[in-house]
A and B are shown apart, each in its own frame.
Chain A
Amino acid sequence: QVQLQQSGPGLVKPSQTLSLTCAISGDSVSRDSAAWNWIRQSPSRGLEWLGRIYYRSKWYVDYGTSVKSRITINPDTSKNQFSLQLNSVTPEDTAVYYCLRGQWLVRTLQYYFDNWGQGTLVTVSS
């Protein structure tokens, strides 16, 4: 059974960097039919996909439109985990952040999110 365990601070000061880590058990960050995503949820923005990494002989990354200039998602194969860094945060970045697994249906391009971390409330405030 796949489990995703998130860790990281719940309070970040404006203009600083938000950093979260997601440890994977029951699966591998480099399995070639999965992708590893970050999503956030806030009352003002709803559910917002931030980005993903996946491995297909090499690492690929995709980022969401609103955060593309500030975000980095990295794998750590030695620890079987992946991380999120969001730079230059403002109070608008206050949200519950989730890490999650994405998968493709066999022999299709259908992509869905089937395992989620527990969520981390990150508040941006001085």
Chain B
Amino acid sequence: DIQLTQSPSSLSASVGDRVTITCRASQSISDYLNWYQQKPGKAPKLLICAASGLHSGVPSRFSGSGSGTDFTLTISTLQPEDFATYYCQQSYNAPYTFGQGTKLQIK
């Protein structure tokens, strides 16, 4: 199975900050990488697919980049509703796997 490692595991930031989360794959996965946001008690929501494609309805302050083994999710200007946990997920092959998550907290 392909392993995904996110860093950092947790992050404190303030409204208005620019934030970057990293996801590293255990092998090359081209651009088969998605990002999700999860708030407490809720199911994850798709933010980015195919490494850099913004999902419908997702604000443009979210962006993704990367290819091969290294990927990033960037939030350009943090809003109060962005404090949540973020997960990467590879769709290169089944079984599909997720990173361990990055919890974004208010500083």
Interface residues of chain A, those whose CB is within 8 Å of chain B, are 46-49, 52, 62-65, 98, 100, 105, 108-114, 116-119
Contacts and interface: CB of A to CB of B under 8 A. Distances in A.
Contact of B91 (A47, A48, A98, A111): A111
Contacts of B71: none
B43 A105 contact: no
Contacts of B95: 49, 62-65
The winner among A52, A63, A114, A117 for most chain B CB atoms within 10 A is A114
A105 B101 contact: no
A94 to B, nearest CB: 17
A52 B49 CA distance: 19
The winner among B31, B53, B94, B100 for most chain A CB atoms within 10 A is B94
A47 B1 CA distance: 14
A56 B32 CA distance: 22
Interface of B: 1, 31-32, 34, 36, 43-46, 49-50, 53, 55, 87, 89, 91, 94-98, 100-101
**Interface majority SS (helix, strand, loop, mixed), chain B:** loop
B100 A113 contact: no
Given A64-B95, A98-B43, A116-B43, A47 B87 contact: yes
A84 B92 CA distance: 24
Contacts of B36: 113
**Interface majority SS (helix, strand, loop, mixed), chain A:** strand
Given A98-B43, A112-B49, 17 more contacts: A47-B101, A49-B94, A49-B97, A49-B98, A52-B94, A62-B94, A63-B95, A64-B94, A65-B1, A105-B50, A105-B53, A110-B32, A110-B50, A113-B34, A113-B89, A116-B44, A118-B43
B91 A117 contact: no
B98 A105 contact: no
Contact of A119 (B43, B96, B98): B43
B62 to A, nearest CB: 15
Contacts of B45: 116
A100 B97 CA distance: 15
Contacts of B1: 65
